[in-house]
Amino acid sequence: MSDLKQLFENNARWADAIKQEDPEFFEKLARQQAPEYLWIGCSDARVPANEIVGMLPGDLFVHRNVANVVLHTDLNCLSVIQYAVDVLKVKHILVTGHYGCGGVRSAMRDTQFGLIDGWLRTIRDLYYEQREHLAQFGNEEERVDRLCELNVIQQVANVSHTTIVQNAWHRGQALSVHGCIYGIKDGLWKNLNVTVSGLEQVPPQYRLRPLGEV
């Protein structure tokens, strides 16, 4: 018997339930996707994008990696952002971290986990930069949670520093980059209120003029 039997049964029930609500749901969805949101979140199994914000298939374009990191050399993440912004024309990018993130915690400890340590390296750098601020917190859990927030804030900045997002603003395209955090302990999704919606909110050193303009 297949180890996946339960999953296929679950899937059949799920598809049935959606079709009961809207018999043409999947046919309509197959013709096009027009999501307004790009979700950039952690791969953690406890942070399922659509369920958290009550969205159906087709509503969210999703990129997930360990500790929701946005690097300017990551072709995967940048390609997702480029397609979402230039082609799908999403209006909102939702960078969502979560409290108790194992990736963030690993970046604060001296244990090796292998290849992943390199992926998390920029969070270790952020931990070092913020060491005095983080030292004010009473215990490791609080320091981890605060660094989870600071990591989201850093990734919002990284997204808004990409030429993909800045060129959208140059074109006059409405696009906001939001920083949010999810509580695994209470299921609540919180706005960190660090939204960036235009070039004037970006520090001058990170602002680029349109391509070709000198």
Q: Which stretch binds Zn ion (CB under 5 A): 36-44, 56-64, 120-128, 152-160?
A: 36-44
Catalytic residue among 3, 16, 31, 98: 98
Report residue 61 as tokens: 């374009």
Report residue 180 as tokens: 């949010």
CB nearer Zn ion, residue 44 or residue 145: 44
Size of the site for Zn ion (CB under 5 A): 4
Catalytic residue among 13, 22, 46, 209: 46
Report residue 74 as tokens: 């990551």
Report residue 127 as tokens: 């931990």
Bridge partner list, 51: none
Q: Which amino acid is at 43?
A: S
Q: Which stretch binds Zn ion (CB under 5 A): 17-25, 35-43, 84-92, 158-166?
A: 35-43
Report the SS3 class of residue 184.
coil
Q: Does 101 bind Zn ion (CB under 5 A)?
A: yes
Active site residue 98: yes
Active site residue 42: yes
Determine which residue in the list 42, 85, 95, 107 makes contact with Zn ion, applying CB under 5 A: 42
CB nearer Zn ion, residue 35 or residue 103: 103
Side by side, which strands form the sheet with 92-98?
60-65, 37-42, 92-98, 176-182, 189-191
Determine which residue in the list 38, 39, 44, 152 makes contact with Zn ion, applying CB under 5 A: 44
To the nearest 10 degrees (0 to 180), the angle between helices 140-160 and 121-129 is 110
Q: Which amino acid is at 153?
A: I
Residues forming contacts to Zn ion in the complex (CB under 5 A) are: 42, 44, 101, 103
